[in-house]
Amino acid sequence: MVVRGSGEYLKVADCVIQMKNYYPVDVTQRAQAVAQHFVDVTQRAQAVAQHFGDTIAVTATAPYPVPRPRLIDPQSVQAQKGYKEVSKARGIRTVTVGTEDIDVSLVDQICHPAQLNAVAAAILRFSRQSNPLSMSSLAASACALVREGGFDALTDKAEGTLCEFRLAELCAALNRLRTLRVAKGAGNTY
């Protein structure tokens, strides 16, 4: 393994070879002496976890801080506009949910209005739920719904104006919704 500029690997290295003027030089002894001055990755992650409290989790299998899931409040996605629910795409730059416009013009992967129509339908379907979901489980459930019933499973009636979108586009649109309320981890309030 060739590593440049990082002392993280020196503690576990069996042999360290330095290239000096294009000639290999064994510097294992010197590297082990330097490694004693570095803080272990697990210790650093635990220090970060103590600093930030319960917003991240550090486990033995994942020594780096793992973010807790962000739970999305479906009631914050207000699709009501007057007496009816509105969730539709306008071109490839804007999704309208209720009275809110979501600007997705910087999401370059959206290249057809049908993609944004499908994203809008998934957001509307989520807004009808009563239980909060994490962003990843929301995206996975939308993907499973499309896989099982096709794109028309996202809507109340067959439209024929939907096409495949990536989960990243759905998450990007939701993250840009100004009314969205998110809680970090279970038990936290919005």
Cα 181 versus chain centre, distance: 16
Tokens for 23, please give them.
């000639």
pLDDT computed for residue 54 by the predictor: 47
pLDDT computed for residue 119 by the predictor: 92
Q: How many CA atoms lie within 13 A of 124 on its CB side?
A: 24
pLDDT computed for residue 19 by the predictor: 86
pLDDT computed for residue 173 by the predictor: 92
Tokens for 15, please give them.
């042999």
Using a cut of 0.85, tell me whether the model's pTM lies above it: no
| Cα separation, 56 vs 1, whole angstroms | 31
pLDDT computed for residue 65 by the predictor: 60
The type of residue at 169 is: E
DSSP state of 154: G
pLDDT computed for residue 1 by the predictor: 56
Strand, helix or coil for residue 87: strand
pLDDT computed for residue 100 by the predictor: 92
pLDDT computed for residue 77 by the predictor: 87
Nearest to residue 155, comparing CAs of 109, 120, 105? 120
pLDDT tens for the 190 residues of the chain, in order: 566 666 667 777 788 888 889 899 998 888 888 877 766 666 666 666 665 554 455 555 555 566 677 888 888 888 888 888 888 899 899 999 989 999 999 988 889 999 999 999 999 888 888 888 888 888 888 888 888 988 888 888 887 888 888 888 998 999 999 999 887 655 555 5
Q: What ranges make up the beta strands (E) of the chain?
A: 17-20, 23-26, 56-57, 66-67, 70-72, 80-81, 84-85, 87-90, 94-97, 100-103, 133-134, 182-184
Q: Is 46 left (phi over 0), alpha (psi -120 to 50) or beta?
A: alpha
